[in-house]
Structure 1
Amino acid sequence: MMKRLVILIAIISLKNAKVLSFSEINLNSSWRIENSNGTIRLTNISLPSGIYSALEEARVIKSIYDFKNDLSTKWVARENWTYLLNIPCTKQQHDYDHVILSLHGVDTFSLVYLNDELLGETNNMFVRYRYDVTTLLRKECPSEVRLRIEIRSAVAEAAALSARYQQLKVVPECPPEVYHGECHMNLIRKMQASFSWDWGLAAPSMGLWKPVRLEYYNSAKLSDVTFALTEVGDYWHIRLGVYLETGTLSKPVEGTLSFSILGLTGLAEQTITVEEDSAENGELLVENTLKVPKQSVERWWPNGHGLQKLYELRVQWEDEILTSPQKPTEKIIRIGFRSIELVQDKTNDGLTFYFMVNNVPIFMKGSNWITSSILPEKSYDEDYVKYLLTSAKSTHMNMLRVWGGGVYESDLFYQLADELGILIWHDLMFACSMYPANEEFLNNVATEVRQNVKRIQYHPSVALWATNNENEVALRQNWYGTQINQEAYIEEYKQLYVNVIQAEILKIDKWRTVLISSPSNGDLSVAQNNIADNPQDPRYGDVHYYNYEDDGWDPNIYSGGRFISEYGYQSFPAFSSWPTVSLTPEELTDLINHRQHSPLGNDPILLMIEKNLPLPLIDSPDYLRNIIYLSQVSQAMIVKTETEVYRSKRIEQGTMGALYWQLNDVWIAPSWSSIEYGGKYKILHYWMKKIFTENHIVASINRNKWMDLYLIRDALGVDEQWTIRMYLHSWSSFQPVHEVLFDSIMVPENTVVKIDSFNIHSYLSRFNANPADHLVQFELLSQNGTKLSENFLLLDKIKNASQSPRPSIKISIVAMKCSVITNKATYSIKVDVTSPAIFLYMELAPKSDSLKQCHFSNNGFLQFTPSVSVQLECADLGCKSNLHASDINVMAVNQM
C-alpha cells in the first residue's frame, strides 16, 4: 500500500505527464579490465568487448590475425580477467518496482558481483542472465556502486570439467594436432569453433560480447514475441506468443496487451486483458490469435521467386497499476506472410526432401555460414554482416545454412535475411562432437535453446531447425571411437538432442520441422529411433559430400542426393591477401602451411591442380602467386561442376538443394570459402553468380562419352521457348570452328528439361578437332533473343592442350565515377588480349584493407573476344581514390 502511495505522489507531481512503464540504461561504456594479478589494466573499454580485441587495441598484443600470433597469444586464454564498471545512481531506481541487471552475453565462465555481493554465476555464452538489483541499488546509492564480473579461463574450465567424465569419455577430447587448438570444447557452452577448427584459429576469447543493461519496470516488461502462420480458407491465422517478464520471481501480472499490424487499419487489431501469475523464473507466456484476410496482404517470397514483403506487427503492454495515464511499452516485429513445409513423401526408392514455399516446390541454392568473426564481440559487426549477406543475395542464393559450431546470430542478421529473401537452415550450436548428458549440462542447454529460439523464431526467413551438425553420422560411423560403448553414446545422444533440444524447440515453435541432425535421413532417421543406419543415404534427407581422391572436375563422380547441404573444395586466399611484402617465399610457404588446418594438408589442392592444369615451375619466382591462382581456378571448377550436377538432377534423382561449404572465413588461411576473411571474392564467388542464375544451361560428358544438356528454369510463369547456341572453339582462335543451333525448346516453369544426348566425339571428328585443344561454349536465349545465360564445357584436361598460345594482356582504366553519398568508386576497365585467355583473373595490388571489398563485375573468365569491358566497384574507397591500371595484376592459365 505504501508503494502505491509513493508512485501516486510522483505522478501527481508530474501534472499528469505520461509515465513510462519500462525504461533501460545501456551500460556499454567506461568499463575497465584487469588480469588476475593486476599487471595489466585497461581503461575506457566499450561493449561489445573481448579480451583479445581489448589487448590489441591497447597494444599489449599484436593482432591474432598476423603471422603466427595465434600461437604467441595463447597465454591470453589461460589468464583470468575481470571487467569493472561504476554504475550511476539515478532517480529511476526509486520510481520502479523492478531494477534488473541484464547481461546479454558473457563469454563464458564468470562470477558477477555488485559491490561485494555475489549476484550469480555464468557458464553459457549464449544465455542472457538477469539479476534483480532493486534492493541493492537502493541500499548502496548514492554511494559508489561497482559492478564486477570476474571471468575465468574457458580453457582451464574445460580442462577441469574433463576430469568429471571418467566413465564415458566425451569425445573427441582434443582436436587434431594440426589445428593448433585447445581441448574439451564440447564440455562447455561456448562457440565451438573458438577452440579451433579445420578452417579457423584457436581464439578462446573472454569478455562481454553483448550489451549489459539496467532495466526498470513495474509489473512486467515485454521480452519476446513468437509468431506462426496457418492458412484457413481466405484468412491467415496468426498465432502469437507474447513473453512477459516480472523480474526474476513469480508475481501477479495485471495489464492489457494490444495487437495491430501497421498499415492494415482496422484489420488484426485486438486488445486483451491479462490477469495471471508468472512462473517461478518471472516469465509469463500469453498466447493470442489474429486473423488477416489473405487479399489484404502480399506474400513473402525467397530471393528470385518474388518480393520480400514485410509488415510491422506491434504488440503493446500497459500495466494496470494506476488509473493515471501511462505510456505503453511496445515491441515491433517485422513479419512475412508465407507458408513453408519440408516435404518428405514416399518415392519408389526412398523419400523426397524439399522445401515447399507458398505451395511452390523451390530448389534451394546457397552456402553455409560460419561465424563472421572468430572473436564473438566482432561477429555482430553490422556493416560486415550486411556485406556478406548482400554478397550471397547477389549470386542468386535463396538459402544459407547457419552452421552449428558458431553463434546464434544477431537480430540484424535475421532481419537482413528477411529483407533479402534468404531462407535460413538453422543448426543449434553443437558440432562434430559427442556432448555430455548429465543433468547440469542438459538444464544449461535447455535454457540456451529456449532463449535463442524465442528470440529468432518469428523471422520468415527461418526455414527449419537442426539440433546439431554431423553428430549423428559421427556416432554411427565411429569418427571418434564411440563404437566400443555405442549404445551408451546413443542413449546420451538421444537425451540431449531428442529429449531436451528438440523438445524445447517444439514448446516454442511447433510449426517448423526440427531435424535431429545434419546430415540425416530425415523421417527415416526418426523411424530408426533417431539414429539412422546410414545417415548419408542419398535416397533420404540431406547429405554432406566431400571427395578428395577422385577428380573433382569430373561430373560423373557426383552421385547426388535429395538435398546436399554441404560440399566443396579448398583453395588458397589471393596472393595479395598474404603479407607478401614482409615475408620471403620460404616464410610465406611456412605461414600457409601453418594455417592449413586440414589433416590432409595442401595435398588435395595440389592434386587437383596437377590432374587438370599445367603446373607452374616450382623454382619460378612467381610460383606461389601462380599456385594460389590455380588453386582458386580448380576450386571454382570443382564447385561449378558439382553444383551443376545437383541442379540438373532435380527430375532424375529428386535433388532439391545445393548448399556449398562455405561462404565466409575467419582469417586468411586455406579453406573452402568463396569469400575471404575481410570480404575479397575468390574466383568461386564470381562464378556462383552464373552457376546459380535462375535460367541456366548445363552440359556434361557422361560415362558413355556423350554430351548431356540440361535446361534449368527456377522462375515461375507460363511455358517459354528457349534456344541454345553451341559454339565449338579452339584455344588458339577468337573465331569459332562451328556453330550448332538447338531451336524452339519448350521449357515449363520451375523445372529441369533434359535435351537428347549429343555424340560429341562424332561431332569433333567431323572437324578433325582434338578434344584437348577445343572446348564448347553455350548461349541460352529467350524467344525474343535475349541472352538468359552462358556456360562452357571442357572436352579434355586443360593441361593436355597443345595449341594454346600465350596471350598478351593489357588493362586500361577508361572511366571512373564516384558517389559522394555511398562513398563508392566505380571504374570502367577495358581488357585487351591478343589471343584467347583461359580463366583471365584480375587482382588488385594490396594497397589497403578497403580493397578487400572491391569487386569486379566479372573475373576468372574465358575471354574469346579481343576486348571486353569489366566494371570495378570499390566500397568505402572514396572519391579521392587514385587507382591506376598498374595496380591491377592480371593472370591467365595459358599465360603463365
Structure 2
Amino acid sequence: MARTRVDLCREWKFRETNGSLPDETPWLPVRNVPTQVHMDLLANNKIPDPFLNLNELAVRPLADKQWTYKTQFPKPKELSSERPTITDLVFEGLDTFATVLLNGSEILKSDNMFVSHRVDVTSLLEDTNELQIHFDSAMLRGRELVKEHSHEHTFYVRQTEVSRVPCEVSKDLQTCSGKILAKVSGANGQSVKISVLLAGAVVFETECTVESSGIAETPFNITHPELWYPFTHGSQTRYELRAALGPYDMISKMIGFRRAELIQQKDEFGKSFFFRINGVDVFCGGSCWIPADSFLSQIPGRRYRDWAKVLYDGNQNMVRVWGGGIYEHDTFFDACDALGIMVWQDFAFACASYPTYKSYLDSVETEARQNIRRLRSHPSLIIWAGSNEDYQVQERYHLEYNYEDKDPQSWLKSSFPARYTYEYLLPKILSEEDQFAIYHPTSPWGDGKPTADPTVGDKHQWDIWHGAMNRYQEAFRLSARFISEFGMEAYPHLETIRSMITDETQRYPGSMMMDFRNKAIDHERRVATYVNENFTVKYDIASYTHLTQVVQAEAMHFAYKTWRREWGRRKCGGVLVWQLNDCWPTMSWAVVDYYLVKKPAYYAIKNALKPLSIGISRDYHDWTSGHVDPTESWKDTKFDLWLVSDQNKPVQVDVVVRFISIRTGQEIRSPVELDSVTVHPNTTTEVLKDYEVTDKTNAESFDLSKFNPYVIHAAARIDNEIVASDTYWPQPIKYLNFDNRNVAIRAFGQNKVVVSAPRPTKGFVFEETRGVRLSDNGFDIVPGQERVVEVSGTDVQTLRYTYIGAPESSIALSAQWKRVLGKGG
C-alpha cells in the first residue's frame, strides 16, 4: 500500500487561554497553518498591523500570553483496511513551549522550535479526532528557566528526513563515494530500491533492506562525477536521488557532489582563511542573511527563490545564515543549490553565553542532528559555524577561557561553559552525521585568539559603523583574513518609507516614528555622522534618504573593492556584508529592503564583484582631525590601478584612464592608454603603482580658488566594449562643487534608459519601487560615457531620479523628483 500524507493545515481555531480567562472565551478562525498568533489576530481584526507606525508597541504584550490551537479531523481511511497500518502525527516545528493533546491524551511536550516531532498515534485515533496544542509564553517560561538555573549558570545576552547522502569527492575529482540512507516508517525487513540518476539516466542503483531501526543504508561509488560549483566558477550539476518502497511508494530529491575545503595555512600575513571548491580557490563575495519575515508563515517558496535570484543577479556567490535566525526551509537551500550560491550556516546560537545543563544539551543535540540530517545533502551548504559572536560575549564579560586547556569536562565548570557546545559537542555531532563537513567553532573565530585579530580566522569588522566608527575611506586599514560581517545603514526607498509610516507629519529624519523603526543602537548619531562627514546635508525626507543611500553605497564600494584586491595574495578570502535583507520594512544595514527593493549599495556590491573588476585607489588623507590640512587629498597626485578576476584563464583587456575636471568636465591631461593588459586568472593583477598624474603641486603656492579638482576614471575594454569601470573622487565629496551637472536622461525604446552628463556627477539614483527591476542604479556619471540601464516592471517614463547637486525642485518632495520624459531609440 502506498504511503499517504494528509496535511492538517485547515479548519483550525485558536483562543487565548491564560488561567484567568473563562472557558467560554470564543474560538477564532485560523486561515492556514503554519501560522503565528499575530497573523491570526490581525486577520480577525483584533490587533493593528504591527508593521505600521508605532503599532509594534501595541502588540508587545502578546508575548506574555498563552494560546491554544485546535482542529478536528477524521480517521484516515487506510486504518479501516485489514492490512496493518501505522499512522504518525508529524510536527515540523512548534514555537516553543508546547503541549499537544489528541482526544484529550497528552502525546507530546516540546521546548525547542528547531526540532521536529513524529508521534505514532495509531492506537489513539477515533472516527473523529480533536487535536489541541497549548502554547506557553516563551518569554515568561524563558525567564523562569533563567531563575531555575541561575545557581549553575550566569546568563549573559548581549542582544537580542528523507534520503540523506554524506559523501566525499576524491582529491583528483575522479570519484564520489559515501553512503545513502533512507529512513522508512513501518517497513522493517522490506526492500528499498535506491537510485541515482543524471539527466534521467541511472548512474547507480541497488536494493537494500530496512533494518529494525527503520534505516535502509547502502554504500555507493560514482566515477567521473559531474560536479557542482558556485556560479562564479562553473556549472551547478545536480543528480536525482530516488528511494522506492514497492511499486507505489517513491520519493526523490535533487542532490549535488562537490569537494569543499577550508584552507587555513600559515603565510606572511598570519594564517589564511579561504574556500577551495573542487580544487579551485574561490573568493567569497556576498551577504549575511536574517529571516525574510518577522512572521515566518508569510514566506512562500517563491519568495525564497526571489531572494536567491537577488544574490545571483548581484554577483554574490555566498550567503551566511546568521545564528540568531533559523535553520532555513529546504526551499531556500534548493534555490541556492540551483543557482550556485554557497551557504555558510551558523548553528542557532547568537550573542549570548548559553547554559549547559543536561536537559538543555540533550535538546541541543536533537536540534543539531535533525538539522544536519535534513540539510547535509545540499551541495550549497559549504560550512557550519557553532554560533554568532558568542565568544565576543565571553570577551566582553571577561568569562573564563583558556584556549590551551583541552579538557571539555573542565569547560563545563567555567563561567563560559558554552565552549563545551561549540568546541566539543557540535563538532562531535557533525563528524558523526556528516564526516566530510567543514566546521568552524563560531563566527568570528581564529584559533582561540581575540575575535578582533585580523591575522587569523574570520572577523566581524565593525570599526566602520560601530566601535571606533572609522571612515569607510579607511577600509584598507581594516582588512582581515575573511570578513564575515561589516555594514553601513541606509534608508529604504521612499515607497517603503511611505508604506511603513502612514502619518505624513512623521515622515522626516529624526521623527519619533522614524527613530522607532530603526533598531540599531545609537543609530541617529551614527547615520548623521557618516552623512555629515561626507556630504552637504539636506534634511527633507527625500534628500536625506538619498544621502544615506549614497553613503551606504560608497561604503560598499570602498570595502569590496579594497578587500577583494587582497585576494591576489589570498590575504582576504571573502567579504560578506551585514546584511542582505530585512524582516520588516525599516531602515537598517540591509542592501535590499523587506519588499525586495534594492538600495544603491546592492549595485555597488554587484559592480565590485563582477567576474572582472577594475579598481583605483589613492592615499587616505584625514580632513578634520586636529590641525590636518583638508586640501591634502586634492593635492595628492598619485594613484594605484589594479584588475581582479574570478575567471579560470587569462584575458586581454585594453585600459584607459582619464582625468576629468569636476568643475568643467574637461580632461586636465591626456588619458593613460594601456593596450593588451594581461589579467591573470583567479587573482589580482597590479597594473599601476603610485602612478604620477602631474608634478606635485607646491603646497606653499596652493590657491584653492584656482585649483581644479578632478576625478580619475578607469575603464577596461574587451573588443571595444567596457567590461569594468571605476571612478575615484577627491574625498570628502562635500568639499566639491556640484553646480550645473545638467544630467540628461532619455528613454530608449520600451525598456532602456540612457543617462549622460557633461560634467562628473555623483550618486545618480533612480527611486526604485516594488516590482521594478533595474540593471544598474546608484552610479556615477562621467562625460563621454553613457550609462544604459535596462528597466522592467514599469513604464520607463514613470521613473523618478536624483543625484548629488540636483536642482531643489527635483528632490524637495518625493512626488517632485524629476521624471524621465525624453523619447529616443
Q: Counterpart in 1 of 2:48?
A: 62
Distance 2:610 2:507 in 1: 41
Deviates more, 1:661-670 or 1:234-243: 234-243
Following superposition of structure 1 onto structure 2, how do residues 460-859 of structure 1 map, counting pairs within 5 Å?
460-475=379-394, 477-479=395-397, 488-489=413-414, 492-521=417-446, 525=447, 532-547=448-463, 548=465, 549-555=468-474, 557-579=476-498, 582-585=503-506, 589-616=511-538, 618=539, 623-652=540-569, 654-702=571-619, 706-717=638-649, 719-738=650-669, 739-760=671-692, 762=694, 765=697, 773-782=709-718, 784-802=719-737, 804-809=738-743, 813=747, 815-816=749-750, 827-831=751-755, 835-844=759-768, 851-859=769-777
Instruction: Please give the per-residue CA displacement for 1:606-637, whole angstroms capped at 9, x wherever unaligned.
Output: 11111111122x5xxxx222122111101111
Q: Counterpart in 1 of 2:33?
A: 47
Distance 1:562 1:310 in 2: 31
Distance 2:282 2:327 in 1: 26
Contact 2:154 / 2:415 at 8 angstroms: preserved in 1?
Answer: no
CA shift, 1:290, in A, is: 1.7
Instruction: Please give the per-residue CA displacement for 1:719-757, whole angstroms capped at 9, x wherever unaligned.
Output: 323222111112233443331113332222111111232
Q: Counterpart in 2 of 1:387?
A: 306
Letter in 1 for 2:93: G
The RMSD of aligned alpha carbons is: 2.8
CA shift, 1:134, in A, is: 0.3
Contact 1:694 / 1:713 at 8 angstroms: preserved in 2?
Answer: yes
Please give the secondary structure, in 2, of the residue aligned with 1:651. helix
Please give the secondary structure, in 2, of the residue aligned with 1:307. coil
Correspondence for 2:119 among 123, 126, 131: 131
Please give the secondary structure, in 1, of the residue aligned with 2:309. helix
Change (3 A) 1:794 1:760: farther
Change (3 A) 1:381 1:764: farther
Please give the secondary structure, in 2, of the residue aligned with 1:465. strand
Q: Counterpart in 1 of 2:15?
A: 34
Change (3 A) 1:26 1:778: same
Distance 1:771 1:642 in 2: 29
CA shift, 1:552, in A, is: 2.6
Distance 2:202 2:541 in 1: 67
Change (3 A) 1:587 1:58: farther
CA shift, 1:309, in A, is: 1.4
Q: Counterpart in 2 of 1:164?
A: 148
Change (3 A) 1:856 1:307: same
CA shift, 1:466, in A, is: 0.5
Change (3 A) 1:410 1:550: closer
Gapped regions of structure 2 (runs ≥ 5)? 403-409, 622-635, 809-825
Q: Counterpart in 2 of 1:314?
A: 242
Distance 2:312 2:157 in 1: 38
Following superposition of structure 1 onto structure 2, how do residues 881-892 of structure 1 map, counting pairs within 5 Å?
883=795, 885=797, 888-892=800-804
Deviates more, 1:347-356 or 1:503-512: 347-356
Deviates more, 1:652-661 or 1:443-452: 652-661
Contact 2:316 / 2:341 at 8 angstroms: preserved in 1?
Answer: yes
CA shift, 1:807, in A, is: 3.4
Please give the secondary structure, in 2, of the residue aligned with 1:98. coil
Contact 1:33 / 1:84 at 8 angstroms: preserved in 2?
Answer: yes
Distance 1:88 1:480 in 2: 58
Q: Counterpart in 1 of 2:255?
A: 335
Q: Counterpart in 2 of 1:148?
A: 132
Contact 1:696 / 1:711 at 8 angstroms: preserved in 2?
Answer: yes
Contact 1:541 / 1:563 at 8 angstroms: preserved in 2?
Answer: yes
CA shift, 1:501, in A, is: 2.0
Contact 2:153 / 2:415 at 8 angstroms: preserved in 1?
Answer: no
Gapped regions of structure 1 (runs ≥ 5)? 1-18, 176-196, 198-221, 279-283, 319-325, 526-531, 817-826, 845-850, 875-880
Following superposition of structure 1 onto structure 2, how do residues 102-251 of structure 1 map, counting pairs within 5 Å?
102-137=90-125, 140-141=126-127, 144-172=128-156, 175=159, 197=160, 223-231=162-170, 235-246=174-185
CA shift, 1:759, in A, is: 4.0
Letter in 2 for 1:777: H
Change (3 A) 1:885 1:445: same
* Superposition TM-score, scaled by structure 1 size: 0.81
CA shift, 1:107, in A, is: 1.4
Instruction: Please give the per-residue CA displacement for 1:512-566, whole angstroms capped at 9, x wherever unaligned.
Output: 1111101111xxx2xxxxxx13133222111110123454332455331211111
Letter in 1 for 2:596: G
Distance 1:581 1:760 in 2: 54
Contact 1:235 / 1:291 at 8 angstroms: preserved in 2?
Answer: no
Percentage of pairs with the same residue: 23
Please give the secondary structure, in 1, of the residue aligned with 2:423. helix
Change (3 A) 1:556 1:708: farther
Deviates more, 1:560-569 or 1:411-420: 560-569
Distance 2:412 2:106 in 1: 42
Contact 1:572 / 1:669 at 8 angstroms: preserved in 2?
Answer: yes
CA shift, 1:761, in A, is: 5.9
CA shift, 1:289, in A, is: 2.0
Contact 2:261 / 2:276 at 8 angstroms: preserved in 1?
Answer: yes
What is the number of residues matched between the two proteins?
767
Please give the secondary structure, in 1, of the residue aligned with 2:156. coil
Please give the secondary structure, in 2, of the residue aligned with 1:361. strand
Contact 1:344 / 1:352 at 8 angstroms: preserved in 2?
Answer: yes
Distance 2:194 2:412 in 1: 51
* Superposition TM-score, scaled by structure 2 size: 0.87
Instruction: Please give the per-residue CA displacement for 1:381-440, whole angstroms capped at 9, x wherever unaligned.
Output: 212211111011011111111111111111111111011100001111111111110001
> Is residue 2:207 matched to residue 1:271?
yes
Contact 2:615 / 2:642 at 8 angstroms: preserved in 1?
Answer: yes
Please give the secondary structure, in 2, of the residue aligned with 1:762. coil
Change (3 A) 1:459 1:685: same
Distance 2:400 2:551 in 1: 36
Distance 2:558 2:707 in 1: 18
Following superposition of structure 1 onto structure 2, how do residues 863-878 of structure 1 map, counting pairs within 5 Å?
863-865=781-783, 868-874=787-793
Letter in 2 for 1:54: D
CA shift, 1:760, in A, is: 4.4
Instruction: Please give the per-residue CA displacement for 1:673-698, whole angstroms capped at 9, x wherever unaligned.
Output: 10011111111012222111010111
Contact 1:730 / 1:736 at 8 angstroms: preserved in 2?
Answer: yes
Distance 2:143 2:475 in 1: 46
Contact 1:840 / 1:893 at 8 angstroms: preserved in 2?
Answer: no
CA shift, 1:474, in A, is: 2.4
Change (3 A) 1:491 1:602: closer
Please give the secondary structure, in 1, of the residue aligned with 2:557. helix
